[in-house]
Structure 1
Amino acid sequence: MTDLRYDTLLARREGVVRDLPQSAEEGSDLRWVMNTATLILGERDAVLVDTFTTIEQNDELIEWIKGHGRTLTHIYVTHGHGDHFYGIGQLLDAFPGARAVATAGTVAGARVQAGDDYRDGFWGRLFPGQIPRPVVPDELEGDHILLEGHELRVVEAGHTDTKGSTVLWAPDARLVVGGDVVYNHTHMYLAETDAASRVEWVAALRAVQDLGARHVVAAHKHPDRDDDPVIVQQSIDYLADVEDTLATTSNALEFYEAMLARHPHRANPGSLWGAAKVFRP
């Protein structure tokens, strides 16, 4: 069998929380977030993990995939947030032989974010005229995808930054495509979490560590950082800092600024401010 390789494409967009207070990050160039799409490559075929948010970004993704000269067989979606699956319809139009698939938990989340309340009322309000018409992935039969004889294994992660999260593990490439389970030098999205779900998230991260990956691709990563598996431990440490900071602060601004002091150079501080307002309303 031919060895598997992978490539990633990054797309930068504005964060979804934009009412940041005057604070330590003021004047910095961090108020953005990168999404990643990962192409796992065999000799002839390829599997894509996650799509992008806007029509233009997904058009660029299509051209990037075509440039690799492979037949796209599957689009795998790691979880049900719209910025990871809204491009499915465009991708299937461009690659009609491909199948878009996800776990039952991801499909359930995607159905919610494919509805008008999210597509128009949330994402469409933030990115007017830029959101594709959503297509929900099919439920994957079984727990893996075959790519030229290599298993790409689905690892259920439970509730991380949202319910029904997964990672895709390619053992023959020692590659984890981590979706939103793991973050790379970007503030983690916490607004859907509570203390119990964050414990579950840490357990999922430790399970990812146990896989022994050589490469870990986060769905949200800083473009200056590589796919070093150290980001799994860094994500665990960030969640530990959240618990410690919640225990030692009394309002949203205190929590936000204390976490910024601990993590001053992570992208997308808006995600942290959004969580602060949920934790300390």
Structure 2
Amino acid sequence: MYSSDAAGPAVNSVLISGAEEAILVDGQFMLADAEAVIAMVQASGKTLTTIFVTHAHPDHYLGLLPIQEAFPDAKVVSTASVVADYDAAAQATFDSLKPQLGPAIADGITPLVAVSGDALELEGHTIRILEIPEPGESVHAAALVLEAESTLIAGDLLYNDVHLVLSECGAEGWIENLNTTIQPLAMERIFPGHGAVTTPEIIATDIDYIEQVTSIMDAAATPEEATAQIQAAYPDYMSEFLLGFSVTNYFANCKQP
């Protein structure tokens, strides 16, 4: 797994390796991190067959183009719902961010194709694609379940000691997804979208965060007041970048009058 700088998005890209082939999950935000992911795949010595995108947020896809160019035979895929979200917003998001970030991000985006069926195959092993039913952290999302390894690659359904992004007003759906879709899987090892590899105890931790931080933001008069209270409640959490984005956009899009 490769994780970007904790001061920035602190986003993960996960490599699922077989004997000779591999699948990459998520594609980073900044160009330097995409290049680090390329180096990780190359160092593995595996043939990259597939790049799977868990959801259509730019910190998980803006680095896809250089990765795809480095491994041109790899298919870049997700579920039909995530592809629809991507097609609706990815180009406009890139066009907005490129003038601000310039050479720090890639020079374009790459097409994302809907996967057929509900699984990925890696050297005869089936990796189940788990579509997430309720809008939560994102409108649509998918996770990957490795049953034999009791492992969940969760994307942004779960964060570990990183500030959760609540900017899409889906707190209730997010909690519902964790309680009814993720918890019953009883996976022993979880790769979150942000933060270190963890255990199922993170589910309750993230639910507590969603509930507490949503309450803080609903009660606070300003984003600055909310941010200070969240930092006080979670002093060891990473990514001031994600916290700022979450609070600013929650106040703009979600805050109850």
* The two structures share one fold, judged by TM-score above 0.5: yes
Is the Cα contact below 8 Å between 1:82 and 1:113 reproduced in 2?
no
Is the Cα contact below 8 Å between 2:164 and 2:246 reproduced in 1?
no
Q: Which residue of 1 aligns with 2:171?
A: 198
Aligned-CA RMSD value: 2.0
**Aligned counterparts of 2:39 and 2:227: Cα–Cα separation in 1:** 39
Q: Which runs of 5+ in 2 are unaligned?
A: 253-257
Structural mapping, 1:66-145, within 5 Å: 66-115=42-91, 117-122=92-97, 124-132=98-106, 133-145=108-120
Q: Which residue of 2 aligns with 1:9?
A: 2
C-alpha distance after superposition, 1:228-271 (max 9, x if no partner)? 33222211111111243245434333322222221111112343
Q: Which residue of 2 aligns with 1:150?
A: 125
Number of equivalences? 249
**Aligned counterparts of 2:224 and 2:125: Cα–Cα separation in 1:** 48
Q: Measure how far apart 1:50 and its partner are.
A: 0.6
2:182 is the counterpart of 1:208? yes
2:45 is the counterpart of 1:62? no
Say which structure is richer in helix. 2
**Aligned counterparts of 1:236 and 1:199: Cα–Cα separation in 2:** 10
2:248 is the counterpart of 1:265? no
C-alpha distance after superposition, 1:165-211 (max 9, x if no partner)? 11111111111111111111111111122xxx211101111221211
Is the Cα contact below 8 Å between 2:166 and 2:250 reproduced in 1?
no
Identity of aligned residues (%): 25
SS in 2 for 1:111: helix
Q: Which residue of 2 aligns with 1:171?
A: 147
Q: Which residue of 2 aligns with 1:35?
A: 11
Q: Which residue of 2 aligns with 1:48?
A: 24
Q: Measure how far apart 1:79 and its partner are.
A: 0.3
C-alpha distance after superposition, 1:83-117 (max 9, x if no partner)? 212233322322222111101221122223431x3
SS in 1 for 2:76: strand
Is the Cα contact below 8 Å between 2:217 and 2:223 reproduced in 1?
no
